Amino acid sequence: MQEVELQDILTAREDGDYIINIGPQHPSTHGVLRFVVSLKGETLEYVIPHCGYIHRGIEKMCERLTYPQIIHLTDRMDYLSAHMNNEAVSLAVEKGLGIEVPDRVKYIRTILSELQRLASHQLWWAAFGMDLGGLTCFFYGLRDREKILDIFEESFGSRLLHSYICPGGLMNDIHPNFQKRTKDFITYFRKKLPEYDELLTGNIIFEQRTKNIGILSKEEAVGYGLTGPSGRGSGFACDIRKRFPYSAYDKVNFKEILYNEGDTWARYKVRMDEMWESMRIIEQLIDNIPEGDFTAKMKPIIRLPEGEYHQRVETARGELGVYIISTGEKNPYRMHFRTPNFSNLFVMNRLAAGFKIADLIAISGSLDLVIPDIDR
Amino acid sequence: MNSVAQYFSDIFKAIRSLWKGLMVTGYYFVHPKQIVTQQYPENRKTLEMFDRFKGEVILVHDTDNTHKCNGCGICQLNCPNGSIEIITDSAVNEDGKSERIIDKHIYHLSMCTFCGLCVKSCPSNALAFSQEFEHAVFDRQKLTKVLNQPGSKIKKEPKVPKPAPAPAPTPVTEEVPNPAN
Amino acid sequence: MPFNIYDFSTTTKAVDEFLKANMSPTWAFITELTIVGLVFLIFYAIVGLYLVYAERKVCAFMQNRVGPNRVGKWGLFQTIADLIKLLMKELITIKKADKLLYNVAPFIVIIASFMAIAAIPFAKGLHAVDFNIGVFYMMAVSSIGVVGILIAGWSSNSKYSLIGAMRSGAQVVSYELSVGLALVSVVIFSGSMQLSTIVESQANGWWIFKGHLPAIVAFFMFLIASTAEINRGPFDLAEAESELTAGFHTEYSGIKFAFFFLSEFMNMFIVASLAATVFLGGWMPLHIGNLEAFNRIMDFIPPIFWYFGKTIFVIYLIMWFKWTFPRLRIDQLLNLEWKYLLPINLVNTLLIAFLVLMGWYFK
């Protein structure tokens, strides 16, 4: 299988090619993503991803909003990692202001990020199972995710788009029940996660569907900028939590999951193992949340000093970079998000060309694409 | 011979892995008590939302039809997408001075993203979230609400020191009738 | 009119005599055909609709849900409401579709499954036709359905449909072999292709018990291969909603879609009842050796209940598979057939022939 550049493909397209549009309305693209696929029989010749169907101009909208207001837009990029997105902007602004948030805030932020990661991976597992035809997985994944959403809802009132972490701290303090509920959930989920393995991971059909499908070497993963679990499946040690610790990640003990196979199976296993690690992180922190304020002392109107600020965090899908150029006003001059899904998407042609249609679905499922995050 | 053994051991491993999966679904099939579905319209009476649930923004009214909003407009400034409009009026108070009062606190539910900035930034703690979540209407106009009830007045309070910089949204304790409907 | 729930042949004979006494033989024959046709039409509709309902309930319970529960008690009339909805929907015809074939395809599929019901022995004396080559007839008729699927995929003028149809063609043609060989094993045991004879040969024990391990292997081979032949999960590549949206019936709507949907469920019923008839003794009650008292109690349960009980059991197995396993890929599907099922089946058939030759099975 030789590598074909997208531009070559576009010029070399012939009338006789059997071209299929997978998307923008298709059950397994998880949103309005479009793959233009050329087929030879069942085999894919090339895959061209087309994005932009849900572009909302979030970066441009940020330029006329104040920093606390920007938070609620970042929820809507990668809605499955809402906390991490909020945290990224908050950390960037705090970095610019040069303030240190209280330890309590750091701990709570870390716990929330990990809970969010668990919820996101559960939904990914559910949808991945459904992509491969195992519809029951979908309901088991959502059933367990519901418990996390209940924890979220009790503490800050919303289930998906929280806008909870804000520059300087948190919107309000956690609910008194938060710790108890989280611990209950961890004990519950430790029992349910092996069930996921029995139903899907160990299954012979599933193994055959994923092993040696869509292989990417470490060098190529670095070259394509593939981050997050997808990159770590190729052996690219890119966990921001480990490499550039933020919040309370330097205080906890956890493993960076790495697999060297680089196939769909490895990407799947990284996420499954990450769920165990996330639970370990939460268990280490949940009983030790220090007392204190839930927010640092902030001025009512935040003005970043003139300059450029960059902050990256590890979302459930990879590295999210926030880049702010400030001219000293209360709103940014330019705001840029380096979203993980955008980089992850364009490895599709490299991964899927030469495999079958069914593998295209498996590969795009294993990359865990969230379309609003690609288009912003 | 080795490959033949491999062939059969593959088959048995496959059957074992499939059997494991069958046991999971089979277990739930014979345990209907594990069903997690909430039967929504039936459980409406008993359904209770968490007290921090962000249903819609309301202006908290007391039993004597007073509220705390003095029409400063900070919520309007803080709202990222213009879902709050404040129309103020002036009135003469007991001291004979002209004072700013609120005429209409207009809230566009259709534009609200429930970010909570208005509730958080309100200096006089007048706004809160209600637990109402059934927002479906047939006419879009109905989603534009006037939050202050007709005839309501600002609550006269003894002079209090400055409120805390970031007060937590207070849980709503009483049912507030919706003035717009 | 004599009615005996243990033997329906008295009833059918009485009806036959009554008609012959009142009209000319030709008209009697035509009336009988009409009655049988109507009865089967109603049976087909009811069983099809309630299989859809059953599937939805079974999958709901497996997935921690309650399933349909709005229309009628426990949602019993849900599928009927769905049928009414489908009847009222617009029949969309695709531009540049091959109009004739596009319209004919759903009928071919549904007729194929309708024809197969005719040969099923439901209870003693309760079957429409008792061919002396019943097993062969079932095989032949059930493979007509794939022609309809191929036509549907080709004539829709849609790329998704075409891929679905091609997959289905490759799949059915290869799995037909395994189904055939699995059935042949019982034909060897009972020495007949007539379904009623096969059932009666199981009066003292079902073939799955009498035939040792080879019969059990043949039963599971039949189950796997026939699941693939009727395009059900985990072998539902022809529709594969996460890959091809709906495969060969992507472009169909309204009642034509309902025909495909219904025939799929009826095919499942036919396959299940064939498995019940051939391997699990059809309407024969469960008999264990010389336990006279036990056998007497089992005899007390009418044959029709035995038949439906076994069929429902097999249907449940097929549903259980569908709602647990992920879907196979097309090349893995063919691998499974040609590398595993077919060789094992061939060896199994040989083994059974040897067993029968030596008489090493429970007679």
pLDDT in tens, C229-286: 888 878 887 777 777 777 788 888 888 888 888 888 888 888 898 888 888 877 777 7
Residue B177: band (very low, low, confident or very high) from pLDDT cuts 50, 70, 90: very low
Q: How many domains does chain B have?
A: 2
Closest among B59, B35, B49, B20 to B176, alpha carbons compared: B59
Q: Do B28 and B81 belong together in one domain? A: no
Rounded CA separation C316/C62 (Å): 12
Find chain C residues with C-beta within 8 A of B26's C-beta.
Answer: 62, 320
* CATH 1.10.645.10 given to domain A58-375: yes
Residue C2: band (very low, low, confident or very high) from pLDDT cuts 50, 70, 90: low
pLDDT of A1 higher than 50: no
Question: Residue B164: inside a domain, yes or no?
Answer: no
Last residue of a domain, one of C24, C53, C88: C88
Q: Do B15 and B102 belong together in one domain? A: no
Q: Do B121 and B65 belong together in one domain? A: yes
DSSP string, C321-349: HHTTSPPPPHHHHHHIIIIIIHHHHHHHH
Residue B173, pLDDT score? 44
Residue indicated by tokens 């005839």? B151
% pLDDT > 90, chain B: 1
Closest among C227, C324, C223 to B26, alpha carbons compared: C324
Q: Do C103 and C78 belong together in one domain? A: no
Q: Write down the mean pLDDT value for chain C.
A: 83
Please name the member of A73, A136, A163 whose beta carbon is closest to the beta carbon of B25.
A136
Least confident of A8-17, A115-124, B131-140, C177-186: A8-17
Rounded CA separation C39/C183 (Å): 28
Residue C327: band (very low, low, confident or very high) from pLDDT cuts 50, 70, 90: confident
Residue indicated by tokens 């519809």? A135
**How long a stretch of residues is chain C?**
363
Three-state secondary structure call for residue A74: helix
Residue A247: band (very low, low, confident or very high) from pLDDT cuts 50, 70, 90: confident
Q: Do C13 and C98 belong together in one domain? A: no
Beta strands in B84-162 (DSSP E): 84-92, 98-108, 127-130, 144-146, 153-154
Closest among C231, C210, C233, C229 to C221, alpha carbons compared: C229
Distance of CA A150 to the CA centre of its chain: 20
Rounded CA separation B177/B126 (Å): 16
Rounded CA separation C206/C310 (Å): 12
Q: Is C8 in contact with C123 (CB distance < 8 Å)?
A: yes
Residue indicated by tokens 């949103």? A31
Rounded CA separation A324/A304 (Å): 10
Question: Residue B128: inside a domain, yes or no?
Answer: yes
Q: Do B27 and B78 belong together in one domain? A: no
Inspect the interface and report whether the beta carbons of B29 and C61 lie closer than 8 Å: yes
Residue B176, pLDDT score? 43
Residue indicated by tokens 């213009």? B82
Three-state secondary structure call for residue C180: helix
Q: Is C123 in contact with C283 (CB distance < 8 Å)?
A: yes
Residue A2, pLDDT score? 44
pLDDT of C290 higher than 80: no
Q: What is the pLDDT of residues A222-233, one digit of tens each?
A: 888 888 888 888
Q: Is A357 in contact with A325 (CB distance < 8 Å)?
A: no
Structure token digits, residue A347: 């490895």
Question: Residue B167: inside a domain, yes or no?
Answer: no
- For the segment A109-133, the average pLDDT, to the nearest whole number, is 89
Q: Do C83 and C101 belong together in one domain? A: no
Inspect the interface and report whether the beta carbons of B18 and A198 lie closer than 8 Å: no
Q: Do B63 and B147 belong together in one domain? A: yes
Question: Residue C363: inside a domain, yes or no?
Answer: no
Domain containing B9 equals 2-34
Last residue of a domain, one of C73, C88, C103: C88
CA dihedral C121, C126, C132, C137 (to 10 degrees): -50
Please name the member of C64, C245, C323 whose beta carbon is closest to the beta carbon of A143.
C64
Give ipTM to 2 decimals. Answer: 0.83
Rounded CA separation B146/A376 (Å): 33
Residue A42, pLDDT score? 81
Q: Write down the mean pLDDT value for chain A.
A: 86
Q: Do C247 and C156 belong together in one domain? A: yes
Closest among B124, B151, B134 to B53, alpha carbons compared: B134
More confident residue, B2 or A273: A273
Q: Do C157 and C29 belong together in one domain? A: no
Residue B175, pLDDT score? 45
Interface test with B, best of C59, C62, C213, C313 (most B CBs within 10 A): C62
Closest among A210, A207, A203, A231 to A219, alpha carbons compared: A231
Q: Do C68 and C143 belong together in one domain? A: no
Q: Do C69 and C103 belong together in one domain? A: no
| Chains with at least 3 CB pairs less than 8 angstroms from chain C | A, B
Find chain C residues with C-beta within 8 A of B28's C-beta.
Answer: 61-64
The answer for C212, left when phi > 0, alpha when psi is -120 to 50, beta otherwise, is: left
pLDDT of A11 higher than 70: no
Three-state secondary structure call for residue C360: coil
Structure token digits, residue C191: 């020495």
Q: Write down the mean pLDDT value for chain B.
A: 79
Inspect the interface and report whether the beta carbons of A173 and B168 lie closer than 8 Å: yes
Question: Residue B51: inside a domain, yes or no?
Answer: no
Least confident of A83-87, B163-167, C150-154: B163-167
Residue indicated by tokens 């579709």? C97
% pLDDT > 70, chain C: 96
Inspect the interface and report whether the beta carbons of C242 and A361 lie closer than 8 Å: yes
For A334, phi then psi, to 5°, come to: -150, 140
Give the chain B residue whose CA is nearest to the CA of C57: B29
Q: Are strands B66-67 and B153-154 parallel, antiparallel or unpaired?
A: parallel
Beta strands in chain A (DSSP E): 18-22, 34-40, 43-50, 165-166, 169-170, 307-315, 318-326, 334-338
Q: Are strands A165-166 and A169-170 parallel, antiparallel or unpaired?
A: antiparallel
**Preceding omega of B171 cis (within 30 degrees of 0):** no
Question: Residue B50: inside a domain, yes or no?
Answer: no
pLDDT of B172 higher than 80: no
Last residue of a domain, one of C88, C105, C133: C88
Find chain C residues with C-beta within 8 A of A17's C-beta.
Answer: none
Rounded CA separation A120/A368 (Å): 10
Question: Residue B87: inside a domain, yes or no?
Answer: yes
Residue B179, pLDDT score? 43
Interface test with C, best of B29, B33, B43 (most C CBs within 10 A): B29
Please name the member of A65, A175, A200 whose beta carbon is closest to the beta carbon of B52.
A175
Q: Do B30 and B60 belong together in one domain? A: no
- For the segment C166-174, the average pLDDT, to the nearest whole number, is 85
Q: Do B135 and B63 belong together in one domain? A: yes
- For the segment B55-73, the average pLDDT, to the nearest whole number, is 82
Q: Do B20 and B83 belong together in one domain? A: no
Q: Which amino acid does the sequence have at C91? A: L
Instruction: Tell me if the pTM is above 0.90.
Output: no
Residue C1, pLDDT score? 57
The arrangement of strands across the sheet holding B98-108 comes to: B84-92, B98-108, B144-146
Q: Do C76 and C172 belong together in one domain? A: no
pLDDT of C23 higher than 50: yes
Q: What is the pLDDT of residues A18-28, one digit of tens each?
A: 888 887 888 77
Q: What is the DSSP letter of B34?
A: G
Find chain A residues with C-beta within 8 A of C238's C-beta.
Answer: none
Domain containing C126 equals 91-358
Burial C130-149 (b: 16+ CB within 10 A, else e): ebeebbbbbbebbbebbebb
Three-state secondary structure along C126-176? ECCCCCCCHHHHHHHHHCCHHHHHHHHHHHCCCHHHHHHHHHHHHHHHHHH
Q: Is A58 in contact with A376 (CB distance < 8 Å)?
A: yes
> How far lies B123's CA from each of B41, B78, B162, B170, C200, in Å?
38, 12, 8, 13, 88
Dihedral sign of CA atoms C155, C160, C164, C169 in order: positive
Q: Do B23 and B61 belong together in one domain? A: no
Give the chain A residue whose CA is nearest to the CA of C60: A136
Residue A290: band (very low, low, confident or very high) from pLDDT cuts 50, 70, 90: confident
Question: Residue C313: inside a domain, yes or no?
Answer: yes
Rounded CA separation B134/C296 (Å): 62
Rounded CA separation A353/A355 (Å): 6
Q: What is the pLDDT of residues B39-59, one digit of tens each?
A: 888 888 888 888 888 888 888
Query: For the packed helices C25-62 and B2-29, what is the interaxial angle rounded to 10 degrees?
Result: 90
Residue B100: band (very low, low, confident or very high) from pLDDT cuts 50, 70, 90: confident
Inspect the interface and report whether the beta carbons of B54 and A69 lie closer than 8 Å: no
Q: Is C58 in contact with B32 (CB distance < 8 Å)?
A: no
> Is any Cβ of chain C less than 8 angstroms from the Cβ of B80?
no
> How far lies A213's CA from each of A361, A366, C53, in Å?
11, 10, 37
Three-state secondary structure call for residue A274: helix
Question: Residue B20: inside a domain, yes or no?
Answer: yes
Distance of CA A207 to the CA centre of its chain: 24
Q: Which residues of A touch B (CB under 8 A)?
A: 65, 68-69, 71-73, 136, 143, 146, 153-158, 161, 163, 171-173, 175, 195, 198-200, 202-205, 207, 295, 297-298, 300
Three-state secondary structure call for residue A166: strand
Q: Which amino acid does the sequence have at C284? A: M
> How far lies B130's CA from each of A39, B115, B142, B169, C193, in Å?
54, 14, 17, 11, 73
Rounded CA separation A229/C212 (Å): 50
> Is any Cβ of chain B less than 8 angstroms from the Cβ of C326?
no
- For the segment A206-215, the average pLDDT, to the nearest whole number, is 87
Per-domain boundaries in chain A? 58-375
Q: Do B125 and B74 belong together in one domain? A: yes
Give the chain A residue whose CA is nearest to the CA of B165: A300
Residue A13, pLDDT score? 61
Rounded CA separation A178/A154 (Å): 8
Q: Is A33 in contact with A374 (CB distance < 8 Å)?
A: yes
pLDDT of C163 higher than 60: yes
Q: What is the pLDDT of residues C90-132, one digit of tens each?
A: 888 778 888 888 888 888 888 888 888 888 888 777 777 778 8
> Is any Cβ of chain A less than 8 angstroms from the Cβ of B146?
no
Residue B9: band (very low, low, confident or very high) from pLDDT cuts 50, 70, 90: confident
% pLDDT > 90, chain A: 3
Least confident of A3-12, B117-126, C29-38: A3-12
Termini Cα distance of chain B: 82
Distance from CA of A279 to the nearest CA of B (A): 23
Q: How many domains does chain C have?
A: 2
pLDDT of A336 higher than 70: yes
Residue A14, pLDDT score? 60
Question: Residue B163: inside a domain, yes or no?
Answer: no
Q: Do B64 and B29 belong together in one domain? A: no
Q: Do C321 and C177 belong together in one domain? A: yes
Q: Do C205 and C292 belong together in one domain? A: yes
Q: What is the pLDDT of residues C53-84, one digit of tens each?
A: 988 888 888 888 888 888 888 888 888 888 88
Q: Do C58 and C84 belong together in one domain? A: yes
Interface test with A, best of B24, B27, B119, B121 (most A CBs within 10 A): B24
Residue C149, pLDDT score? 86
> How far lies B167's CA from each of A151, A152, A174, in Å?
22, 20, 13
Q: Do B30 and B74 belong together in one domain? A: no
Q: Do C120 and C268 belong together in one domain? A: yes
Q: What is the pLDDT of residues C120-129, one digit of tens each?
A: 888 777 777 7
Q: In sequence order, what are the residues at sequence separation of 6 or more whose Cβ sits closer than 8 angstroms to the Cβ of residue A374?
A: A33, A51, A339, A341, A342, A345
Supply the CATH number for residue B75's domain: 3.30.70.3270
> How far lies A315's CA from each of A74, A110, A340, C18, C312, in Å?
12, 12, 8, 79, 48
Cross-strand pairs, A96: none
Interface test with B, best of C66, C324, C336, C341 (most B CBs within 10 A): C324
